[in-house]
Structure 1
Amino acid sequence: MEAIVFEEYGGPEVLRLTTADEPHAGPGQVRLRVRAAGVNPLDHKIRGGAMREVFPTEFPAILGSEASGVVDEVGEGVTGLAAGDEVFGFMETGAYAAYALASVVARKPGELGWEEAAALPVAGETADRVLNQLAVKNGETLLLHGAAGAVGSAAVQLAVARGVTVIGTASPGNHDYLRALGAIPVAYGDGLTDRVRAVAPKGVDAVFDAAGKGALPASIELRGGTPDRIVTIADPTAAEYGVAFSRGGDRDASALAGYARPVAEGGLRVPVARSFPLADAAAAHAESEAGHVRGKLVLLP
């Protein structure tokens, strides 16, 4: 099968389109013919070696943890799914490929396109998990770094639905977008603490770092000097500051289905910023690594 493989840590150029052995469904698994695969910032951090302590990589490796596609093999013990079913979910083998294996998938609603479905699993699960970990509630203020990305977009909407005031960091070009989602936008970079204090003079109750761009010291300062109620999903220096790093939780097919319905009905937005042919995975990584992406980048095998 065609797949994007890398055999060493490095820049986007280490990703190459090649032929790899096809995986086959084992007990409890289905195999998908991949129609779309999500590209996440974590992918380029793994590829570059920044996350080697948290996510060690065995080479050669295929990236990609989420996809949508058509079931074409069903493993022993799987019930309720059959060849030809359209599904989306979390992949157990790399999704940057023609085929991938999964044990946690949900049926794709007909109203949800392949690309939108592939953009949903990581964004929905991560946003929901971290908000629960932070225990944010009605009346509180959340500072969200990387608010315009796919995870950030989902987190803004889910937090606002809880009655939380969200201050979202993003580049100025994404500020109107964040306002439309219900967040108060601020620019990241030098002077961040002063800008946040200007819109939240009483301080922030919690911090969700979905960007991993060195904002932990400022976050701790804004939390009164404590790392309490700060969670990052993207900064490998978290332990140095005593900040919690959230790696992933229990993945549940019913929760996936629950994320899909409001997206299909237009009540939750996880926008697809751009789609690339599978062969252009390096270009997708370069764009992801440059930042400023509004929503999710997607690969199309």
Structure 2
Amino acid sequence: MGRGPTPLTVVIAAYNATATLPACLASLRPAVAAGVEVVVVDDGSTDDTAEVVRSWDSPLVTVLSQPNGGPSVARNAGLEAASGTFVTFLDSDDEVTPGWHEFLLGALDDERVDLATCGMKVLLEGGPTRERRPFPMGPVYDDMVALFLPGAYAVRRSLVLDVGGFDVRVRYGEHHELAMRLADRLTPERTRRSTELLVVKHHDRSQARVSAYASARLDSMGYVLERHAARMARDPELSADYHSIAGFAAYTLGERRLATRHTLAALRLQPRKPKMWGRVLRLARMSLPGRA
């Protein structure tokens, strides 16, 4: 980008984001003032997303425009263009608090650190507010304690490049799949954590969105279960959750045989877990005549 390295680059994948991107960028203003780079990748938008970014009078805030390829393709483009030693990824409807960049820059100033992670407040549309903090992610992730959600982690850019960036086959749970490939390169000694809720995520859980993402859920869960079979075998509970998500997505798409296969796989992995039996009964009720 024609500049020397900056400590941190924020990559934002944006598609038709004129309604939310201004608030996202406004929340980053203190970070930009502190020297943080922001790269917005306009992923084939048909609105004025790119113009929103160009209205910023700062060489640290730039936009890349490309044909629509999906969030992972856009994030990888931003990753390649970034000049930061560390990189983090935000969605265009996320916002950060003033303390966010202070924590990250303070943590990442230590040359012994490869990962910094913090908490997040999730605002559910029409529902309660949830709090997410770094947690023990389990054996699939080499027992890493972190929160791999947009904006809640910043990682050394060279490590993300080493593992190939985001897998474009994964369209749901992309950050967790990336964490699986990063896990053996990240150690507790080289991680800094904060339990403060420094990121705000707006989450649309409407039925329309659930239905729209059903194909992404089904394809992504099946792909991850296959690609990371050895890792997933370490944690039957997580594997059962992946099968359960795939099963519900398959039912939403009308793929009842596939839905049954995934749901039964989840049950075999966690036969004594009441939640799994509840999902089986729910799927059975949904499959009754007149419930399609």
On whether the aligned pair clears a TM of 0.5, the verdict is no
What's the TM-score once normalised by structure 2's chain length? 0.25
Q: Which of structures 1 and 2 has the bigger CA Rg?
A: 2
What's the TM-score once normalised by structure 1's chain length? 0.25
